Amino acid sequence: MLRHPSSKRSMVSRGFVLAVLFLAPVPWPDGQKATAQSLKAATTKTAARRRHTVVIKDVKYEPPILTVKLGSIVEWKNADIVAHTVTAVDKSFDSRIIPPGASWKLTARKTGTFDYICTLHPNMRAKLVVQ
Amino acid sequence: MNARTRIVASIGTAIVAVITLNTPAQAQAAPTDPQIVGIVIAANQIDIDYAESALAKSETKQIRDFAQQMVADHSALQKSVFDLGAKLKVTPAESDTSNALKAQAKETATKLKAVRGKAFDTAYIDNEIAYHQAVIDSVNKVLIPNAQNAELKAALTGAVPLFQGHLEHAKNVQAALK
């Protein structure tokens, strides 16, 4: 059976396309994977930036000055042997009593510099700066 | 000088004299580590006892809240002192100083029993201010310099901010009651 000349050409062109597909690097699936990974890393980094911890120990807040972005969540963890509070001097936030081992979270909804103290041990003073 | 002022003046002077070893009996001997632990245990228990008398007698919220904090804080500190003593194998020892503290505290308790209502509240908080100031002075001037064990020395140093916090809180309560 004689092959039609156009069939041979189309077979060659099909073969060429298949070779290109299988032998050449295919950027499209790997690129999508790279984008997903970058997006996940960026999301994780953003989430990490927006969560902060202040450790209360030895009658001190550490760090004594914390600067965060608006909308961040700050968690105070009481690692001391006695209870403490986190009380803004301007009364804009007040954890009330945080027993040893417990913690308290605040979402920073307002920009500004907030001095705060422990009402039980007023020599404990620190600052929260929200930008 | 009114009765309240006399109570406070006598308490402060006596405690400072006892703890800073300015009485003839103690003038010669600096405390050993076991005696230092014994003094801290006595000092903690004394303030717990004062607080419990306030909780039994006062109806004023700021006084009761403060007294509750003194029970909680000094009990936690007491536990840490016992734990540290066990860890360092230092058995608390009585001394002329710890015995004199206890005797002085007994006298103070008798004077506090003799007053009631606002007079009690005022006498209690005034005593807390004098007592904590005396304890801070004694820890800084006598106990820390004489502590031989480094961990004991560090623990005493670490306790000072807690006593200072109590002192400031007591002053705030005193101001609020005026």
- For the segment B111-161, what is each residue's pLDDT rounded down to a tens digit? 999 999 999 999 999 999 999 999 999 999 999 999 999 999 999 999 999
Helix (H) or strand (E) holding A66: strand A65-68
Given a cut of 90, whether residue A66 has pLDDT beyond it is yes
pLDDT over threshold 60, residue B2: no
Does residue B61 form part of some domain?
yes
Taking residues B14-40, what's their average pLDDT?
68
Answer whether B162 sits within 8 Å of A59, measured CB to CB. yes
Instruction: For residue B85, tell me if it sits in a domain.
Output: yes
Residue that has been written with the tokens 């005493």 in this structure: B156
Q: Which residue range is the domain that position B119 belongs to?
A: 3-19+31-177
Residues 6+ apart with CB under 8 A from A115: A88, A89, A90, A125, A126, A127
Residues of chain A in contact with residue B164, where contact means CB-CB under 8 angstroms, are 121, 123
Question: How big is the A-B interface in CB pairs under 8 Å?
Answer: 42
What's the pLDDT band for B9 if we cut at 50, 70, 90? very low
Assembly ipTM: 0.84
Comparing CB atoms, the residue among A58, A81, A122 nearest residue B169 is A122
Q: Which pLDDT belongs to residue A42?
A: 58
- The pLDDT score that the predictor gives to residue A23 is 47
> Looking at the domain assignment, is residue B26 inside a domain?
no
Q: Which residues of chain A have a CB within 8 Å of the CB of B168?
A: 121-123
Kindly state the helix (H) or strand (E) to which residue B130 belongs, with its residue range.
helix B117-138
**Count of domains for chain B:** 1
Identify whether the C-beta of residue A84 lies closer than 8 Å to the C-beta of residue A124: yes
Show Cβ contacts of residue A84 under 8 Å, excluding neighbours closer than 6 positions. A56, A78, A97, A98, A118, A120, A121, A124
Q: Tell me whether residue B24 is in a domain.
A: no
* pLDDT tens, residue by residue, B65-121: 999 999 999 999 999 999 999 999 999 999 999 999 999 999 999 999 999 999 999
CATH value at residue B78? 1.20.1260.10
The Cα A54–Cα A98 span in angstroms is 13
Residue in B with minimal Cα distance to A58: B158
pLDDT at B29: 83
Q: Please give the average per-residue pLDDT across A34-38, as a whole number.
A: 66
Average pLDDT, chain A: 80
Residue numbers in A near B77 (CB within 8 A): 81-82
Q: Would the CB atoms of A122 and B168 count as touching at under 8 Å?
A: yes
Q: Looking at residue B175, what is its pLDDT?
A: 97
Residue B25 within a domain: no
